Structure 1
Amino acid sequence: MTSVRVVPATAERWPQLGRVFGPREKNPASCWCQRFRRHDEATNRDALRGEIQQADPPVGLLAYLDGDVVGWTRVVPRSTLPRIVEHRALARILDDDPDAWWVSCFVVRREHRGSGIGVALLEAAADWAAQHGASVLDGHPVDTDGLARIPSPSAVFTGTLAMFRRAGFAEIGRTYPTRPVMRRELLHR
């Protein structure tokens, strides 16, 4: 595979982000990476657009392959995601570290799934979080080996256990038999 280039999702790159979201791009009410947030915007797409235009540092990263955008991930301080912070099962596992960051979702264009784009995004997310003072990067992927059948892509938007392991994350607990909490310790850069 040609090397993947991962860059911050800045305001200038907003039009390209829609290409990653594919058919959902036409539906402003679809998730648009808002599942773990709260907002007052008319649509989830408007909420993400506002974040992309105003956030410093950017709230996500985009992956490019041969100059074409192919993937997205949100990576932010954990404290900015109320539905993670207030999640009772996660609270039993996570410490109260104000410098902890969270990688909450991945979107990879259909034709590029299974080609390492998610791992490239995850590795870049760890670097991005470290550059911005994070102590750890956590995530809550799906252990697909424990599922009865192959999950739909929308069921693994938080990533897979195999992907996190390939990116150097270690399991710190589980909220459910198929839902590990994964952590990568970071050195501030």
Structure 2
Amino acid sequence: MDSASLTFAPVDAARFADIERLFGPKGASDGCWCRYWSDPARVWREGTAGERHDAFAAEVASEAPVGLIAYDGETPVGWCRITPRAAVPRFNTTRTGRPDGDIDDVWALTCFYIARTWRGQGLMRRLAEEAVAYAAAHGARAVEAAPIEPKRPLMWGEGYVGIASSLAAAGFEEVERRTPIRPFMRYRV
């Protein structure tokens, strides 16, 4: 894989078919459609993958910033959710993601999805770097994340919140250790 061939773009309605292609028919993490941090817990539990797909499609169509997609040529190979904190209310109420101050002009980097063939190639770091630049261009003063710092090989889907070492390589700094494996990290723009 040649990381020099990568390009990055904000997800919009014109690119939604590329997200569907990247996530596959099951919607990335078994029907998540990147709604876990956006939906209230009850809505998430009771919702279906189809409902989450439609909610994500509507969010993208609203032209609100939702995230970035990475391409290798024309092929979508990675995704990250980068949004103002207000767009991910569930993230804001968790022990690992809750803000430690005012969230005005603070964005959250909450999710990643990397195509299997691109995992372990540094794409998460590149997505994090691009996410910071995208947030900064939209007026963010900081980007915050609550990645995992694995102590063992990751199991199915655990890395969706980001890998702490990849975010550190992108310039994020640990602010607080909220659980043994989940640091709260920040990039000051």
> One fold, TM greater than 0.5?
yes
| Sequence identity (%) | 32
Relative to structure 2, which stretch is displaced further, 110-119 or 131-140? Answer: 110-119
Q: Look up the match of 1:62.
A: 69
Q: Look up the match of 1:8.
A: 10
Kindly state the Cα deviation for residue 118 of structure 1 after the two structures are TM-superposed. 1.1
CA contact (8 A) 2:97 2:145 kept: no
Stretches of 4+ moved more than 4 A in 1? 39-42
CA contact (8 A) 1:11 1:52 kept: yes
Relative to structure 2, which stretch is displaced further, 99-108 or 38-47? Answer: 38-47
Q: Which runs of 5+ in 1 are unaligned?
A: none
Kindly state the Cα deviation for residue 116 of structure 1 after the two structures are TM-superposed. 1.5
Which of 46, 69, 73 is matched with 2:80 structurally? Answer: 73
Amino acid in structure 2 at the alignment position of 1:18: E
Kindly state the Cα deviation for residue 2 of structure 1 after the two structures are TM-superposed. 3.6
Q: Look up the match of 1:106.
A: 112
CA 1:179–1:26 in 2, change beyond 3 Å: closer, same or farther?
Answer: closer
Kindly state the Cα deviation for residue 140 of structure 1 after the two structures are TM-superposed. 0.6
Kindly state the Cα deviation for residue 89 of structure 1 after the two structures are TM-superposed. 5.2
Amino acid in structure 2 at the alignment position of 1:52: V
Query: CA offsets, 1:43-71, max 9 Å, x none?
Result: 11111111111123x31110001221101
Q: Look up the match of 2:164.
A: 161
CA 1:70–1:173 in 2, change beyond 3 Å: closer, same or farther?
Answer: same
Which of 85, 92, 102 is matched with 1:96 structurally? Answer: 102
Is 1:46 aligned with 2:54? yes
Q: Look up the match of 1:183.
A: 186
How large is the Cα RMSD of the aligned pairs?
2.1
State how many pairs are aligned: 180
2: CA distance, partners of 1:169 / 1:2: 21
- Give the TM-score normalised by the residue count of structure 1: 0.87
- Give the TM-score normalised by the residue count of structure 2: 0.87
Which of 112, 121, 127 is matched with 1:115 structurally? Answer: 121
Q: Which runs of 5+ in 2 are unaligned?
A: none
